[in-house]
Amino acid sequence: MAIAARPKTKCCAIFRMPDDNELTKKWRSEAQSLLRANRFDDARAFYRQICDAEPEDADAWHVLGSVNGILGDHAAAEKCFRRVIALCPDRSEGHFNIGISLRNQNRTEEAAMAFRAALKHNPDYAEAHNALGYVLTIGGQRPAAEQHFRRAIALNPGLPDPQVNLGNLLRTQNQNEEALACYRRAIEARPDHADAMISLSVLLSKLMRIEEAIEWDRRILALYPDRAEVHYHLGNALLGLNKVEDAVASFHTAWQIRSDFAEAAGAEAQALQKLGRFEESAQCIRAALDRGQRSAALVVALAVVSRRLGQRAETIALAETMLARDKLSGDDARQLHFAAGKLHDELEHYAEAFEHYRQANALHHRRFARDAHDRLVNDSIRFFDPDRIRNMPRSRNHSERPLFIVGMPRSGTSLIEQILASHARIFGGGEMNIINQYANGLQARLGADAPYPSCLGAVTPAALDEMASEYLDRLHVMDQAAVRVTDKMPHNFLHLGMIAMIFPRTRVIHVVRDPMDTCLSIYFQPFNELHAYACDLADIGYYYAYEKLMAHWRRALDVPIFEIRYEDLVADPDQWIPRLVEFCGVEWDDRCMRFYDTDRAVNTPSYEQVRQPLYARSVGRWRHYEKQLEPLRTALHRPT
């Protein structure tokens, strides 16, 4: 959170010149010149002399405290500001700066007392309200913090920091639109406010508004090209658009700027793996480890290449040592548990593997709103009944370019896309979030009273044409030549009714895998917050009732749906791969049989597996964990 270092009134204090003797006048003049030149160490030496010569000069003590704070000597700054208060007990900015010094020493409770003292002497001190709100947020007192942020904004609407802090607080409460408005007001007040722009970009990424986030990251870097964390965030945003090569460059730049930025090194190593450049990834990891760097991202990347390096046991030991000894964020600990679980699984240490996966999911468990999910499924089945579908409007766009690959995550959708993307005339678009964005924004877009999907009752052919055109424009940005572009967002199975209205000539591939293997594989992957069901075996089994919706689509829709079972493909690729290519309406291409040699970015959790020839070792994998899977088995056999 942003916080003002000093109140605006400090400038008056720094340059106020009381009558004194000629020597101290000379010291003050030289000290002020040094301050203007940002030579703070030299200026501090002069102000120490002034304070020694005139110990009752509160202004000199105030400036010395400010300079100590600028130089990071917060304990010395605190002593100076306490001297100011001893001389002038009602000086509000003195109390305020004591609070800043205490906060910078992580003494937040004492800092809160100092800010309250500042407000006692000046209740309209906007900066003090903001600073108090900040330390109250650290202490978990969010309602009180919000009151102080709002009071600071009311007192000084042009002050950007309270807007940023309020936005950050609202973001933790999922009040995302109001948070975005706060960040934008802060930027309007101060267009070069880096914290406001960074917070805005981070939230836009969280909301899957990736293009906007990238635009803001580039705007920040135009002003502050050496902000390593922004290059890192830009890299993650570019991954969200499947621009993996560009992401590698951003992560590498972040690591060049900050040689100790282990997270950026790990992210670069993982992105290189998604490009199939495993040896370069290993070199990146080795370089970071040789510098003594450690991060969860590095260990995750190392876990992928450790098989090639023959270092599974060593990587497990590193991950488990970091989990036992290091102070880790919840997300970092979660990543390490997943990495250790993967390696134990490969070594057939199944009990140890499952325990790591259990701990990983416990660290990131989110409530899966079963009622809301059931409502969406049942509303879709009711709304898209066969009679209504026959009479519903369609887009007049008859493009066959979009090719949708749907199914449960971890069912083999990435493998199918890799096979098809090996074809000269098919481009692999990866997991695009466009259809989900349409669904989430459709009620507002149409100005309808009913939520999705019922709001489609108000849709017009013109609105469907517009959505089709927007979607095809996005495909054109990715590739201009291919006759088919895949969208393998698995959860598009929720929206096949709307997809059939937008693209009446599209084709859909539905990938099916054994439910137990599919659900176990989901549990073993570090999915993000969009997959709220993925952290609990019972929730995953409950979500697998997607079969009910897919059965309805097969009965009700008039777009062709090709169903392929992962197990059948693995057992007989010579039969199923040609059938798959034929369904797509393109001529045969031998490269589809050698899909593992295809040079393309694979930005999904399966990026390593799809670069290997077909294998059957994942078939029936759940049997290794049969004792732990009773909640899953029970959920899968629930009545539908």
Is 357 in contact with 523 (CB distance < 8 Å)? yes
| H or E segment and range at residue 15 | helix 10-15
Binned at pLDDT 50, 70 and 90, residue 609 comes out as low
Given this model, what pLDDT does residue 605 score? 60
Given this model, what pLDDT does residue 13 score? 37
Structure confidence by residue, pLDDT tens digits, 41-63: 888 888 888 888 889 989 889 98
| C-alpha separations of 173 from 170, 177, 186, 250, 534 in Å | 5, 11, 19, 30, 22
Whether pLDDT at 422 is above 90:
yes
Q: What average pLDDT does the segment 190-207 reach?
A: 93
Whether pLDDT at 608 is above 70:
no
Q: Which tokens sit at 156?
A: 């000084």
Among the residue ranges 173-182, 293-302, 378-387, 567-576, the one predicted with the least confidence is 293-302
Is 419 in contact with 592 (CB distance < 8 Å)? yes
Is 438 in contact with 542 (CB distance < 8 Å)? no
Q: Residue 562's beta-bridge partner residues? A: 509
Whether pLDDT at 607 is above 90:
no
**DSSP letters for 218-257:** HHHHHH-TT-HHHHHHHHHHHHHTT-HHHHHHHHHHHHHH
Whether pLDDT at 6 is above 50:
no
Whether pLDDT at 281 is above 70:
yes
Residue 144's φ and ψ, nearest 5 degrees, are -65, -40
Taking the C-alpha atoms of residue 459 and residue 479, their distance in angstroms, rounded to an integer, is: 29
Binned at pLDDT 50, 70 and 90, residue 79 comes out as very high
Is 407 in contact with 515 (CB distance < 8 Å)? no
Q: Which tokens sit at 402?
A: 């979009």
Structure confidence by residue, pLDDT tens digits, 9-46: 333 333 344 445 666 777 878 778 888 888 888 888 88
Taking the C-alpha atoms of residue 331 and residue 213, their distance in angstroms, rounded to an integer, is: 22
Pseudo-torsion of CA 191, 194, 196, 202, nearest 10°? 130
Whether pLDDT at 421 is above 90:
yes
Whether pLDDT at 490 is above 60:
yes
Given this model, what pLDDT does residue 600 score? 62
Structure confidence by residue, pLDDT tens digits, 313-357: 989 998 999 999 878 888 889 999 999 999 999 999 999 999 999
Report the candidate in 41, 76, 81 with the shortest Cα–Cα distance to residue 58: 81
432 versus 20: the higher-pLDDT residue is: 432
Sign of CA dihedral 204, 206, 207, 210: positive
| C-alpha separations of 280 from 270, 274, 286, 287, 473 in Å | 10, 11, 10, 11, 34
Is 500 in contact with 507 (CB distance < 8 Å)? no
| C-alpha separations of 507 from 74, 168, 486, 499, 504 in Å | 64, 43, 10, 10, 9
Question: Could you give all domains of the chain from N- to C-terminal order, each with its CATH number?
Answer: 370-636 (3.40.50.300)
Which letter does DSSP use for residue 364 in this model?
T
**DSSP letters for 470-524:** HHHHHHHHH-SS-SEEEE--GGGGGGHHHHHHH-TT-EEEEEE--HHHHHHHHHT
Average pLDDT, the chain: 89
Cβ density class 379-414: b for 16+ within 10 Å, e for less: ebbebbeeeebeebebbebebebbbbbbbbbbbbbb
List CB contacts of 378: < 8 A, sequence separation 6 or more.
none
Given this model, what pLDDT does residue 259 score? 87
443 versus 54: the higher-pLDDT residue is: 443
Helix/strand number for the chain, H first, E second = 33, 5
**Tokens 């698995």 identify what position?**
490
Pseudo-torsion of CA 538, 539, 540, 545, nearest 10°? 100
Enter the pTM of the model: 0.73
Is 590 in contact with 424 (CB distance < 8 Å)? no
Given this model, what pLDDT does residue 18 score? 44
Q: For 111, how many CA atoms within 13 A lie in the half-sphere containing its CB? A: 26
Given this model, what pLDDT does residue 195 score? 93
Whether pLDDT at 81 is above 50:
yes
List CB contacts of 71: < 8 A, sequence separation 6 or more.
40, 41, 44
Q: What average pLDDT does the segment 582-593 reach?
A: 95
Whether pLDDT at 230 is above 80:
yes
Among the residue ranges 10-14, 261-265, 384-388, the one predicted with the least confidence is 10-14
